[in-house]
């Protein structure tokens, strides 16, 4: 199976399956001398681990990480960094009733047709649990980027019909980590929780939007043709299993704008008083905050009885059992942030080759 690696210099390979013995990541190309500990990685893994609230799966994993290589005396050595997280609470029997048929909305059908393998235990490599490796790598990337002053604010912008404006202030940022939905507005949080309680009662699921704002990004990251920074960021976010659309800056709103509305005018020292472009011009970072939005579909595992087919192509009905998130969005916040950080770290290192 190809396609488990991402990046050119800061290169990340994730490995492992949802119900296998363990999952993890190998990060190659991280410069030597970066202070790094398991605690740095663990605090990010704790943001995505299951079982933290009634709106996440009840799978009881502590997701404790262990660094296997690439660190000596608390600093990176420049060699590949390997990190492992063991699975402890995998209930493979929860999936035995669907081993011979395909779950609607999942990758079961395409995975089986491509590889001839039906790993019915939570989806194997196509499971959302694969994102553990991304978060591990993202923690390292963010530690590296912090040395250049790059910072991230990532939050839930929408859950179903409950939607926040993109504008946030310092007070709102302080609210993000105080609730399990990672929403920067207490009123909207209450509204979203009330809506989710109804969704859970109906045995259904819902989608939403994660917004990521990245500040202090140096000017000049990315290249103007096939290695555009915005193109690589879009690919990074679209590679997350449940993401169905990505916006940068004003995103889809640009189709209704005029040039006089959409252009960001320059002022002294290259300052722009607006940021419709979302931090990139011509595929290159311009110094303004990078603004990304990832639109995430509803969790495909729902308890409703649905139509599907068996591996032999016969029509049947299916009722999915087990422990599933009614909404993916809150646990995807750190995953979106991680993939953005990995992309920027790679672009930062690539930029060292741009000119003498």
Distances (CA, A) of 236 to 12, 16, 231, 241: 12, 19, 9, 11
The CATH number assigned to the domain holding 93 equals 3.60.150.10
CA dihedral 288, 294, 295, 300 (to 10 degrees): -170
What average pLDDT does the segment 77-90 reach? 91
List Cβ neighbours of 255 (8 Å cut-off, separation of 6 or more): none
pLDDT in tens, 287-309: 999 999 999 999 998 888 999 99
Mapped onto helix, strand or coil, the DSSP state of residue 215 is: strand
Decide if pLDDT at 60 tops 60.
no
- What spatial distance separates the first Cα and last Cα of the chain, rounded to whole Å? 39
Selection from 246, 202, 222, 230 nearest residue 336 by Cα = 246
Q: Which residues of 99-115 are buried (b: 16+ CB within 10 A; e: fewer)?
A: eebbbbbbbbbebeeee
How high is the pLDDT of residue 230?
Answer: 97
Which residues form the domain of 217? 5-353
How high is the pLDDT of residue 254?
Answer: 96
How high is the pLDDT of residue 57?
Answer: 55
Angle at 326 between CA 321 and CA 328, to 5 degrees: 115
Separation between Cα atoms, residue 60 and residue 85, nearest integer Å: 14
Structure tokens at 49: 């681990």
| Number of structural domains the chain divides into | 1
Kindly write down the DSSP assignment for every residue of 64-114, as one continuous string. Answer: -EEEEESEETTEE-SSPEEEEEE-----GGGGGGGTTB--TTSSHHHHHHH
For 279, phi and psi rounded to 5 degrees?
95, 0
Q: Which helix (H) or strand (E) holds 340?
A: helix 329-350
pLDDT in tens, 142-164: 999 999 999 999 999 999 999 99
Q: Which helix (H) or strand (E) holds 162?
A: strand 162-163
pLDDT in tens, 99-128: 889 999 988 899 889 988 887 776 778 888
| Residue owning tokens 């600093």 | 75
């Amino acid at each position: 199976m190809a396609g488990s690696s991402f990046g050119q210099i800061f290169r990340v390979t994730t490995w492992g399956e949802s119900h296998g013995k363990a999952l993890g990541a190998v990060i190659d190309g991280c410069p030597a001398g970066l202070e790094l500990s398991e605690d740095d990685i663990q605090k990010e893994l704790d943001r995505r681990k299951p079982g933290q609230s009634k709106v996440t799966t009840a799978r009881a994993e502590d997701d404790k990480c262990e660094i296997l290589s690439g660190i000596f005396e608390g600093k990176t050595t420049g060699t590949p960094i390997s990190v492992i997280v063991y699975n402890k609470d995998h209930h493979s029997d929860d999936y035995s009733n669907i081993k011979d048929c395909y779950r609607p909305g999942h990758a079961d059908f395409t995975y089986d047709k491509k590889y001839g393998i039906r790993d019915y235990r939570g989806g194997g490599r196509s499971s959302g649990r694969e994102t553990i490796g991304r978060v591990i790598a993202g923690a390292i990337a963010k530690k590296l980027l912090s040395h250049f002053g790059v910072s991230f604010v990532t939050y839930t912008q929408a859950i179903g019909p409950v939607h926040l404006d993109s504008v946030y202030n310092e007070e709102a940022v302080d609210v993000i980590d105080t609730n399990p939905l990672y929403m920067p507005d207490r009123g909207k949080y209450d509204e979203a929780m009330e809506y989710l309680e109804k969704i859970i009662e109906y045995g259904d699921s819902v989608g939403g939007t994660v917004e990521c704002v990245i500040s202090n990004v140096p000017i000049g990251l990315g290249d103007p043709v096939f290695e555009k920074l915005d193109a690589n960021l879009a690919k990074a976010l679209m590679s997350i299993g449940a993401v169905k659309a990505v916006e940068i800056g004003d995103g889809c709103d640009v189709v209704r704008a005029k040039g006089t509305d959409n252009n960001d005018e320059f002022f002294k020292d290259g300052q722009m008083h607006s940021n419709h472009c979302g931090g990139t011009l011509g595929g290159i970072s311009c110094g303004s905050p990078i603004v990304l939005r990832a639109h995430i579909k509803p969790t495909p595992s729902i308890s409703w009885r649905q139509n599907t087919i068996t591996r032999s192509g016969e029509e049947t009905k299916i009722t999915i059992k087990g422990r599933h998130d009614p909404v993916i969005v809150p646990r995807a916040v750190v995953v979106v942030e991680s993939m953005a950080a990995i992309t920027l770290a790679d672009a930062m290192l690539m930029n060292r080759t741009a000119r003498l």
